[in-house]
Amino acid sequence: MSLEDDIALLEQVPTLAVLGRAALRILAIGAETRNVASGAVLFYAGDLAEGGYVVQDGSFLLEPDRPTRNHRETIVGPGALLGELALVTDTVRATTATAQEPSAVLRISRSLFVKMLEGYPEAARSLREAMAERVNGWSRELEGVKAKLASGLPPGES
């Protein structure tokens, strides 16, 4: 893929799109393309995460270490961001990602992402605002669940 193709891909990722084209250009230039054979594991649940991956081509099965009602197997394809949190902080992988077909990803290291944010403070502000919005949304959802639990209704029922 060309640099412009990589930038266009990053613009499709909601978390990254808020950064702006100039910041995405830096990420596209510094990102590493990795090809992953069908059936190969990109990373395992429990691995230390040192950055994120954007799926360019193909698809990945994401399997949590311990499947629960809310964390089940998922298949993701082009434009999916794997390891969003790992772009900004130390963390471990919550899932194992296995290629379902010949696939390709852009690897964005945490150090590259942080340097980009330092060089583009407006991008950092936009990212902070977008993440704050998401956290506030989750908080409202949790308050709704809390209210349902307090009323004696299961969370999935009205």
The domain 3-151: what is its CATH number? Answer: 2.60.120.10
pLDDT in tens, 6-32: 999 999 999 999 999 999 999 999 999
Domain extent listing, the chain: 3-151
Closest by CA to 54, choosing from 37, 36, 72, is 36
Task: Tell me: pLDDT of 136 over 90.
Answer: no
Banded model confidence at residue 98, pLDDT cuts 50, 70, 90: very high
Q: Give percent of the chain above pLDDT 70.
A: 93
Look at residue 131 and tell me whether its pLDDT is greater than 90. Answer: no
Cα–Cα distance for residue pair 49/29, rounded to 1 Å:
21
Rounded mean pLDDT of 56-73? 83
CA 90 and chain centroid, separation: 14
pTM for the full predicted model? 0.82
Backbone angles phi, psi at 18, to 5 degrees: -70, -15
Task: Pick the closest to residue 63 from 32, 100, 88 (CA basis).
Answer: 100
